[in-house]
Chains A and B, each alone.
Chain A
Amino acid sequence: MKSLRFVLPLAVFLLLIGFLYVGLYRDPREVPSPLVNKPAPAFSLAQLDDPAKKLGPADMKGQVWLLNVWASWCVSCREEHPLLVQLAQANIVPVIGLNYKDTNALGKKWLADNGDPYKLSVVDADGRVGIDLGVYGVPETFVVDKSGVIRYKQIGPITAEALQQKILPLVRELQKS
C-alpha cells in the first residue's frame, strides 16, 4: 500500500526516539560484572597487617561478607569511607578490604588516617587478583554469600542510597538462608 510506505520513516524515528530517551538515563561507561551469581575467583593473598598470614574466599565460606577494593591513591574511596566505617561499627556484615596496586606502608597510613572499617585487608600489589575479579576502577565492592558466590557488585563509591536500598537488604536476605 502506497501510503504505508510513507509512514515507515516516521515509525522508525519514533522507535529510535524511544531508545534515545531511555539511553539518557543509562551510563554508557558502566561495565556490569559477568561474575554476578558466579563463585568468587579463588585467591589467597597476604594480609596487610600480617604478611605471614593469608586470606581468600575459601576462608570466608559460611558467612556473608563484603569485599571492598580500595587504595591510598584513590580519591573516590574517601567519599565512601565514612559509610564503610559506620557499617563496620553497626557490625552487620564483615568487610574485607582488598588493597589494590598500592604499597603496604601507604596503605596502612591511609587506614590510620581515615579509619579502618575492615575486619582485615589483603594486598593485591600487582593487580592480578583485581583482573580476576573484573576490577576496572577503584573503589568497587562485592557482596559474597555463604557459599562463596558473588551476588552483587557496586561499581564506584558506595552511596547511602545504594547501601540502604540494595546492599543491606541483600545482605540480610543472604544471611537468613
Chain B
Amino acid sequence: MIPELGHFALILAVLVALVQGVLPLIGAQRRDATLMALAKPAIRTQFLLIAFAFGCLMYSFATSDFSVANVAEHSNTQLPMRYRIAATWGSHEGSLLLWALMLAGWGAAVSLRSRNLPDVLLSRVIAVMGLVSVGFLSFLLFTSNPFLRLMPAAAEGQDLNPLLQDPGMVIHPPMLYMGYVGFSIAFAFAIAALLGGRLDATWARWSRPWTTAAWSFLTIGIALGSWWSYYVLGWGGWWFWDPVENASFMPWLVGTALLHSLAVTEKRGTFKNWTVLLAIVAFSLSLMGTFLVRSGVLTSVHAFATDPARGVFILIFLAIVIGGSLTLYAIRAGAVGGGAAFAMISRESMLLANNVLLVVACASVVLGTLYPLFLDALNLGKLSVGPPYFEAVFFPLMAPLVFLMGIGPLASWRQVKLPDLATRLKWAFMVAAVTSVLLPFTFGHWSPLVALGLFLGLWVVAATITAIWQRLSRAPQQGLAAKLAANSAAWYGMLLAHMGIAVFVIGVTLVKGYGVEQNVPLDVGQGVTIGVDTFTFRGVAPITGPNYQGLAGVVEVSRNGKVVETLRPEKRAYNSGMTMTDAAIDYGFFGDRYVSLGEPITDKGDSGAWSLRVYVKPFVDWIWGGAFLMAMGGFIAMSDRRYRLAVKQSLAGLAGARAA
C-alpha cells in the first residue's frame, strides 16, 4: 500500500510541476497576477508530494519490504538500520528521487525567502524550476520507478553495495546533490532574466546567496567523496581524475567562476551576459554529470547500472533543457548586456582573468574526460586519458589563478594604483618567497615544484593577512571589536574561503612531495621503517560483522621505540558476495600513517605472512581541511546581512516598478 501511495504522490507531483512550469510563465508574460500567484503554492505542494513519496520509499527500506524491487535489490535484513535508511538513495532510482526532492526543496526555499522579489521575476524563476522538475519526475516515472513491485516478494534482499555501507558514503550523495541542484536556482534566475530581457544589480544580489550555498555544498560533497576514496579504497590516493569525479568537478569550476562573476555584476553592473551564460553552463554541467554517470557512456567505478534506453531519455532531456536555454541565450543575450568601464589593472580585470582561467581549466577537464569517447565515436581508436594528462594540464592553469587570489582582494574596483598595490604586497611576497624556498629543506629533500606549491599557498595566506591588516588599520572605528564588526560577513567569508584554498594547496604540495608508499611482504613480528615511524605487523585474526566475515590485521606504529598507535586494517567478505578492504589510518594534523592489507603470502607455506601497503602521508588532511574552510567561507559569506535587510525592499520595489 505504502509504495503505491508513494507512486501516486509522484504522479501528482509531475502534474503539479507541469502546472507550475507553464502557467506562471504565461502569467509573467501577460502580467496576469492570478496565474503568477500559482507559482508559490505549486512549488510548495510539489515539494510536499515528493517528500511524501521519499518518505514512503524510506519506510519500505526501513521495514525491509522486499516486495518492492528496489528494496530487494539494495537492502537486506542484516543491514544495520542506518544503512537501510541510507539505501533509499543508494540506487539509481532512489538517488534520482533524492535529486527530485532537492530540486523541489530548493524551489520551496526560494518561494519562502522571496518576499522582496518582484512577482514577474519570481514566477519565472519558479516556473523554470518546475519545468526542470517535470523532466526529472518524468524520467523517474517512465524509466526509473523506485516503487516497482517484485511479485512474488523476495525472501531476502541482495544487500546494499558494501562500498556504500559507510558514513562518508551516506552523506556524500546528499551533499553533492544539494550542490548540483542548488545551481538550478542560478540557472532559473538566468533564464528568467533572459525571458524578461533585462538584468540589473538586484538580480545579481538575489542570485548570489543561493549560488554561494550551492557551491559550498558541492565543495563539501566533492571533498567527502575524495576523503572516502582515501580512507576506504586502500590505495592511499585521494583523486584519480576518474570520469565521475570529473563530472562533479566541472560544475564546481564553473560555479566558482560564476560566484566571482556575480560579484562583479552585483557591484559594478558589468559582465551581465557572461554571468548569465555561466549560470546556464554550471547547471548544464550538473545535468551532464547526471547523464555521464547513468548512461554507460564512460567507464567508471561509479557508474550506476547502465541502460542505453535511460541514456537516450536523459540525452533528450539535456537537449531540451540545455539546448533550449542556450538558444534563448543566443537570441536574448544582446539585450541584457552593457555595464560600467574599468581599467586594465583593476579588480574587474583580475576577476575576468579568474574567470578565463577557471573556464579554460573546466574546458580542459571536459576535453580530457570526453576525449576517449570522441575518438571512439569517430572510429579513430581507443585511448585512455588519466592522471598524467590532467595533472600536466591543470596545475599550470591553477598556479596563476592562486597567485591572483592574493592580489584580488586588495585591488580596488575600476582602477588600481599599481605602485600602491605593489608596496602593500611587498611584505607578503617576500615572506612567502623566503619561507617557501627554505621550508623544503626541513623535510629533507628540496624540489622546485614543492617550493612553488608552498609559495602559492603561503602567498595567499600572507596576502590575506595583509588585506585584514590594511582594512583594520584604516578603519575609522575605535577598538578592535568595533573595527572587526564594521566589516561584512561576505568579506570574512571570502577571506576564509581563500585561506581554505591556501591550506588545500599546501596540503597537496606536501603530500605529493613527501608522501611515501611501501609495498612490503612482512612476516608476523617483522616491521618496516619509514622516516621516524616503524610499522610492525602482528598477524591477522578473523572478525565477524552484522553482514560480513573477514580478517583484521594488527599493525603497531612506533616512534622512538614506543608504540604510539595500533592500526587494524581489514579485509571483509560480505554475505552478499562482495569483498572489500578497509584501510586503517592514524590521522594527524601533520600527517597520516596509513596501512592496508594486501594479500597473504602463500608461496612459503602458511607462515601467516602478508603483503602490506604502508603509507606515510604528510599534511594530507589539510586537503579536506582546506575544502572544509572553503565551504565554511561560503556559508559565512551568504549569511551576510545585506541579503536579508529590509532596505532591499525599496530597491526591489523600484526594480519591480520598472519591470512591471
**Interface, chain A (partner B; CB < 8 A):** 2-3, 6-7, 9-10, 13-14, 16-17, 19-26, 28-32
Contact = CB atoms under 8 A, between A and B. Distances in A.
Interface residues of B, number: 34
Interface in B313-329: 315, 318-319, 322-323, 326-327, 329
Nearest to A2: B334
16 contacts: A6-B273, A6-B334, A9-B329, A9-B330, A17-B315, A19-B374, A19-B377, A20-B297, A23-B373, A23-B376, A26-B297, A26-B377, A28-B298, A28-B372, A28-B373, A29-B299
Given A10-B330, A20-B291, A28-B297, 7 more contacts: A10-B323, A13-B322, A17-B318, A20-B297, A24-B297, A31-B382, A32-B382
Given A14-B323, A28-B299, A29-B299, A20 B330 contact: no
Contact of B315 (A6, A10, A21, A26): A21
B373 A20 contact: yes
A131 to B, nearest CB: 18
A89 to B, nearest CB: 36
A14 B296 CA distance: 20
B2 interface: no
B373 A19 contact: yes
B356 interface: no
Contacts of A24: 295-297, 308, 311-312, 315
Nearest to B374: A19
Interface in B363-379: 370, 372-374, 376-377
A16 B376 CA distance: 14
Given A23-B373, A23-B376, A29-B299, A6 B333 contact: yes
B329 A23 contact: no
Contacts, number: 73
Contact of A22 (B280, B327, B372, B377): B377
A18 B126 CA distance: 30
A28 B326 contact: no
Contacts of B291: 20
A3 B308 CA distance: 36
Contact of B327 (A10, A23, A30, A32): A10
A17 B323 contact: yes
Nearest to B327: A10
B277 interface: yes
Contacts of A19: 370, 373-374, 377
Contact of B277 (A9, A26, A31, A32): A9
B282 to A, nearest CB: 13
Nearest to B297: A23
B254 to A, nearest CB: 12
Contacts of B372: 28
B108 interface: no
Interface in B331-383: 331, 333-334, 370, 372-374, 376-377, 381-382
A31 B382 CA distance: 7
Top 6 A-B pairs, shortest CB-CB distance: A10-B326, A22-B377, A23-B297, A6-B333, A28-B299, A24-B311
A26 B373 contact: yes
Interface in B257-287: 273, 277, 280-281, 284
A19 B281 CA distance: 18
B143 to A, nearest CB: 14
A11 to B, nearest CB: 9
A20 B295 CA distance: 10
Contact of B330 (A6, A26, A29, A31): A6
Nearest to B376: A26
A13 B326 contact: yes
Contacts of B370: 16, 19
A13 B319 CA distance: 9
Nearest to B370: A19
A10 to B, nearest CB: 4
A115 to B, nearest CB: 30
A129 to B, nearest CB: 23
Nearest to A18: B377
A29 B382 CA distance: 10
Nearest to B322: A13
Contacts of B308: 24-25
Nearest to A27: B296
B297 A9 contact: no
Contacts of B318: 17, 20
A2 B331 CA distance: 11
B329 A6 contact: yes
Nearest to B324: A10
- The CB with the most chain B CB atoms within 10 A, among A14, A23, A29, is that of A23
A2 B273 CA distance: 12
A123 to B, nearest CB: 22
Contacts of A26: 297, 373, 376-377
A23 B296 CA distance: 9
A3 B377 contact: no
B373 A3 contact: no
A26 B375 CA distance: 11
Contacts of B273: 6
B210 to A, nearest CB: 22
Contacts of B297: 20, 23-24, 26, 28
Contacts of A20: 291, 295, 297, 315, 318, 373
A95 B503 CA distance: 63
Contacts of A21: 312, 315
A3 B374 CA distance: 28
